Amino acid sequence: MVRMVGRRKNNPLGLEPRVYPKRGAFYYVHRDNRWERLGTDIEQANKRARLYNDSQGEYGTMAYWLDMFIVDCEVRVKSKSLAQRTLQDYRADIEPLKIYFAAPMLPTDIEPNHIQNYLEIGATSGRPVRANREKACLSSCISWLIRTGKVDGLIVNPCMRSSGIKRNAEKKRERYVTNDEYRDVYAAAPPQVQAMMELTYRTLQRPESDILDWTVANLTMKDGKRILRVNQGKTGKIVDIALPEDLHALLQKLVGDIPRIGKPLICGSRGKYAGQRYTYDGISSMLKRAIAKVNAERVKNGQHQMPPFGFRDLKGKGATDMWISGIPIEEIQLLCGHEDKTTTEKYIKQRWRETAQPNRVMMA
């Protein structure tokens, strides 16, 4: 028998209609009497229930389907067919999309001119790249609706380039950090930043989404040797990275004498922050202070200041230095997690500018 929807007379937890506690978790009872587990977080359970109950009358609108797209993505993350990082990005992307494509706009109402206007608004408001990413999220959502047949009459994705959409221009990151710049900043940086610099430069993994999540559990044995096993958040690939003696020594120093499985390799070391994971903004600020310290010293000595750089630039430097030293492009591609070797080549060469030699042919 289906439970009736309505406000309970006794509801001390403040649960939304159709939500019930059961065995330490919260469940939503659908109209077909199907019980869906919503997890143990009461706020998240109520949020999902409000979507299902359609308390704001948004059913069928683009805003509604964006929320339902996230629900589907959560299921895909659990089945390991979608990366957790992609889900996190989508969650952030849909919020401005829901404002622009607000109710009562339906998916079938959206035309290419709406998409182009959204991109242009993003460009004029100083967030052109962010608007591109949000447009990509919207395109994924609409493709999901078409693929699953959830919306009658929706057969064309208006976000596709074939519809005449022109993305905002994105400036490629071409900063190449020289060896002298690296050494100077490394010497001026605190131990946590030094470790982050080395791990980014040596492993070529994403500093913001991979390296900061590494714990003692990422260190494992393979064929009798210690390796670093990483799960690339963006690609979902498992990559085993060999540990030469110096890199092994660095990681052993981070682990400490008493390993704790859940301890982040890059973490605070003092007071209440001891053992806690750094945020990317937090450790990036520490890198900026080290660069500022070096530049202050350079000005004092009558030298030019170095342009700023981030940890991401050290990933590019590592790939470029490997390429210059003759490492096969396939090995660099594996570390970078690029699907196509051409992507790796572009990634490297946009940071490296050789000096062209002039024409030395003498005219007779």
Judge if the upstream peptide bond of residue 104 is cis by omega within 30 degrees of 0: yes
Q: Is residue 39 part of a domain?
A: no
* Residue 30 belongs to some domain of the structure: no
Q: Which of the listed residues 163, 190, 218 is the one where a domain comes to its end?
A: 163
- Cα(246)–Cα(239) distance, integer angstroms: 20
Q: Is the pTM of this model over 0.85?
A: no
Same domain, yes or no, for 150 and 228?
A: no
96 plus 136 within the same structural domain: yes
With both helix axes pointing from N to C terminus, report the angle between 128-148 and 112-124 in degrees, rounded to the nearest 10: 160
Q: Is residue 276 part of a domain?
A: yes
Inside any domain, residue 168? no
Take residue 19 and report the two structure tokens written for it: 């939500």
Rounded Cα distance between 225 and 243, Å, is 9
Q: What per-residue confidence (pLDDT) applies to 347?
A: 79
Contact criterion met (CB below 8 Å) for 91 and 133: no
CA dihedral 290, 294, 299, 302 (to 10 degrees): -170
Distances (CA, A) of 200 to 1, 272, 310, 336, 359: 57, 26, 11, 11, 40
What type of residue sits at position 105?
M
In a shared domain, residues 102 and 187? no
Q: Do 214 and 124 fall within a single domain?
A: no
Same domain membership, residue 291 and residue 230: yes
Q: Are residues 159 and 290 in the same domain?
A: no
Within 10 angstroms of residue 48's Cβ, the number of other Cβ atoms is: 22
Q: Could you tell me if residue 191 is inside a domain?
A: yes
Domain boundary among 163, 187, 210: 163
Q: Note the pLDDT tens digit of each residue in 226-246.
A: 899 998 876 778 889 999 998
Residue-range definition of the domain harbouring residue 100: 56-163
Q: How far apart are CA 257 and CA 156, in angstroms?
A: 59
Domain boundary among 132, 163, 194: 163
- CATH number for the domain that contains residue 229: 1.10.443.10
Q: Exposed e or buried b for every residue in 57-82, given b needs 16+ CB within 10 A?
A: ebebbbbbbbbbbbeebbeebeeeeb
Asked if 188 and 119 sit in the same domain, the reply is no
User: Does residue 185 lie in a domain region?
Assistant: yes
Claim to verify: residue 342 and residue 196 sit in the same structural domain: yes
* Residue 333, SS3 per DSSP: helix
In this structure, the answer to whether residues 192 and 297 fall within a common structural domain is yes
Cα angle 21-24-30, degrees, rounded to a multiple of 5 = 35
pLDDT of residue 258: 61
The CATH number that applies at residue 60 is: 1.10.150.130
Please report, as a single letter, which amino acid is at residue 50. R
Decide if 47 is inside a domain.
no
pLDDT at 4: 47
Give the whole-angstrom CA distance, residue 112 versus residue 156: 10
Starting at the edge strand found earlier in the chain, the sheet holding 19-22 runs 19-22, 25-29, 35-39
Question: Angle CA(8)–CA(11)–CA(15) in degrees, nearest 5?
Answer: 90
Task: Let me know whether 188 and 293 are in one domain.
Answer: yes
SS3 content of the chain, % helix, strand, coil (to 5): 50, 10, 40
Please indicate, yes or no, if residue 363 is contained in any of the structural domains. no
pLDDT of residue 2: 41
Residues of the chain with pLDDT under 50: 1-5
Same domain? 254 vs 329:
yes
Within this chain, do residues 194 and 311 fall inside the same structural domain, yes or no?
yes
Number of domains in the chain: 2
